Amino acid sequence: MNSRAVGVGRVLIVIYAILALGATARSVVQILTKFDVAPVAYLLSAVSGVIYIVATIALILPGTTWYRIAWAAITVELVGVLSVGTLTIVDSTLFVSDTVWSYFGRGYLFVPLVLPILGMLWLYRRRPSRVPS
Amino acid sequence: MIEWFTLVQLGVAVVAGLLCLVMGLAGRIPSDITMGVTALVELFLLIQLVMAIVAPAVGNSPTGSALEFWVYLVSAVLVPPAAVFWGLIERTRWSTVILGVACLAVAVMVYRMGQIWTVQLA
């Protein structure tokens, strides 16, 4: 039994799955219809979508390898939302179109900002040394 | 989209979501009530789906990207059944919380769908 996909962790996984669906679907639409307008922003949207998918899968699957992948994905998310969030506030011309991480995830009710922090707390509480998987 | 219907749908999704969240955090496992309101949210989505197919034919077309609207609608339609399915196989309080999260996610998506259909800022 995987020690990460239990209890409140399941709620976390579902929120990750919904965000993965939202970010990926949105970026597919953006890339298909108006890629020329803001290639950087739309590629970033696609990359963030993939990272959310990886995080969702890594949280579900057992084992220390997936545990490390989960940490890596969630760290990238936190760095992404903080750096892109700061950049959009400092210089709004850098990203002419919104991404998941613009303005610290404002377009997604700040869920992208809160989620990696909750994810890290959850991963820390469920670290393999404490709970054998 | 018909505006009043969308507003009712939004209200139903928010109330259903909050109800499931509260019941779940209070320790209830998925019940007929919480599963029922999630099913109601799905029913509204299916009605919206049919209306979105018919509406452009009677002169009610989206002012924004139809593709983006449809991606939201199809995604939203998939969410409640997935949550209910989970609630049926995993009988814990957290499944009730998940029903709530799903309903609130649908509420956000319906809100965005309303924006795409009616409000264009750019």
pLDDT digits (tens, 9 = 90+) for A84-123: 888 888 877 766 667 778 888 777 778 888 889 989 988 8
The pLDDT score that the predictor gives to residue A96 is 63
Confidence of residue A42 (pLDDT cuts 50, 70, 90): confident
Residues A14, B86: C-beta atoms closer than 8 Å: yes
Distance CA B118, CA B113 (A): 9
DSSP B60-84: ---SS-HHHHHHHHHHHHHHHHHHH
A106 located within any domain: yes
Distance CA B100, CA B102 (A): 5
A132 located within any domain: no
- When divided into structural domains, chain B yields a total of 1
The pLDDT score that the predictor gives to residue A84 is 86
A3 located within any domain: no
- Output the CA torsion B23→B26→B31→B36 (10° steps): 0
The pLDDT score that the predictor gives to residue B34 is 94
CB A4 within 8 A of CB A62: yes
Residue B77 backbone dihedrals phi, psi, to 5 degrees: -60, -30
What Å distances lie between residue B75 and A64, A77, B37, B69, B80, CA to CA?
Answer: 32, 23, 19, 10, 10
DSSP chain A: --SSSSTHHHHHHHHHHHHHHHHHHHHHHHHHHHTTT-HHHHHHHHHHHHHHHHHHHHHHS-SHHHHHHHHHHHHHHHHHHHHHHHHHHH-TTS-SS--TTGGGGGGGTTHHHHHHHHHHHHHHHT-TTTS--
Distance CA A85, CA A100 (A): 9
* In chain A, residues 15-34 whose CB comes closer than 8 Å to chain B: 15, 18, 21-22, 25-26, 28-29, 32-33
ipTM score above 0.90: no
Query: What domain range is B14 assigned to?
Result: 3-118
Distance CA B96, CA B102 (A): 10
Query: What domain range is A105 assigned to?
Result: 8-125
Q: How many CB atoms lie within 10 A of CB B85?
A: 11
Helix residue ranges per DSSP H, B1-122: 3-25, 32-54, 66-89, 93-118
In chain A, the residue whose alpha carbon lies closest to the alpha carbon of B21 is A11
Q: What residues have CB less than 8 Å from A30, skipping those under 6 apart?
A: A41, A42, A45, A97
- When divided into structural domains, chain A yields a total of 1
Contacts of A21 in chain B (CB under 8 A): 75, 78
CATH code of the domain covering residue B105: 1.20.120
Tell me, yes or no, if A111 comes closer than 8 A to chain B by beta carbon: no
**pLDDT digit string, tens, across residues B54-88:** 988 888 888 888 888 898 899 999 999 999 998 88
% of chain A with per-residue pLDDT over 90: 19
A130 located within any domain: no
A37 located within any domain: yes
A131 located within any domain: no
What Å distances lie between residue B12 and B25, B32, B56, CA to CA?
Answer: 20, 17, 25
Residue-wise pLDDT tens for chain B (122 aa)?
A: 888 999 999 999 999 999 999 999 999 999 999 999 999 999 999 999 999 999 888 888 888 888 888 988 999 999 999 999 988 888 889 999 999 999 999 999 999 899 888 876 54
The pLDDT score that the predictor gives to residue A1 is 46
